[in-house]
Amino acid sequence: MQKTKIEWCSHTWNPVVGCKRGCQYCYARRIHNRFNKTPFSHIKFNPSRLFDKMPKEPARIFVGSMSDFEYWKPEYVQQIFDVCRNNPEHTFMFLTKESRGYCGYPIPDNVKLGLTLTKCDSKPEFDNLDFHTRNGMKNLFLSIEPLQGMFLGKIRNNVETVIVGAMTGPGAIEPKPEWIQSIKDHVPEEKIFWKSNIKNMVGA
């Protein structure tokens, strides 16, 4: 459990590390490769981290900042969710690029389920967003980071927050004005959380 500078949470917690997607812009892979010799594509569960000391005050905890929920085995998820249930004063936030991975689990009340998109202007992306928001789940959010194209998706009422950020790191691509405008056009203003790395482009 670590305090973090990520703007939409207060802590990160990584009982699972590793991802098989291979996204070119992945900050987690860069961090992993700096300190580890094992491939980032190797999904590693660290049971000892289930016993990490929780914050004293109510916190928003990003679970899996170094992974993607899609690649977690059911036995990992069940143990992690048990910890969440046993700490109801905290809010635990999960992210994936494939929300079908959330299906089949009883979701604790203090868990928020996030879907990551970098854009939404094609059928696969529309389908992914639609599935995430129409299957009856609650406590949903979106992370559009890094913003890499037009966002033309429909935001349903059960989406609480839409986090929007720009690419960072080597070779970062600055969002185009029309990409930013598409967010404004398709996401209710009260739901948007502009990260600081894009605020100056937005005028927020």
pLDDT in 10s for each residue of the chain, 204 residues: 999 999 999 999 999 999 988 787 877 888 888 888 889 889 999 999 999 999 999 999 999 999 999 999 999 999 999 999 999 999 999 999 998 899 889 999 999 999 999 999 999 999 999 999 987 778 999 999 999 999 999 999 999 999 999 988 777 889 999 999 999 999 999 999 999 989 888 865
End-to-end Cα separation, the chain, in angstroms: 31
Query: What's the rounded Cα separation, in Å, for the pair 176 and 119?
Result: 12
- Which is nearest to 166 in space by CA: 4, 7, 11? 7
Q: CA 131: distance to chain centroid?
A: 16
Fill in the amino acid letter for 177. Answer: P
Query: pTM for this structure?
Result: 0.92
C-alpha dihedral (122, 128, 130, 136), degrees to nearest 10:
180
Would you say 35 and 50 are in contact if contact means Cβ atoms under 8 Å apart?
no
The Cβ of residue 142 has, within 10 Å, a number of other Cβ atoms equal to 27
Q: What are phi and psi of 181, to 5 degrees?
A: -65, -35
- H-state helical runs in the chain: 27-35, 74-85, 123-134, 177-186, 196-202
Q: What is the largest CA-CA distance in the chain?
A: 46
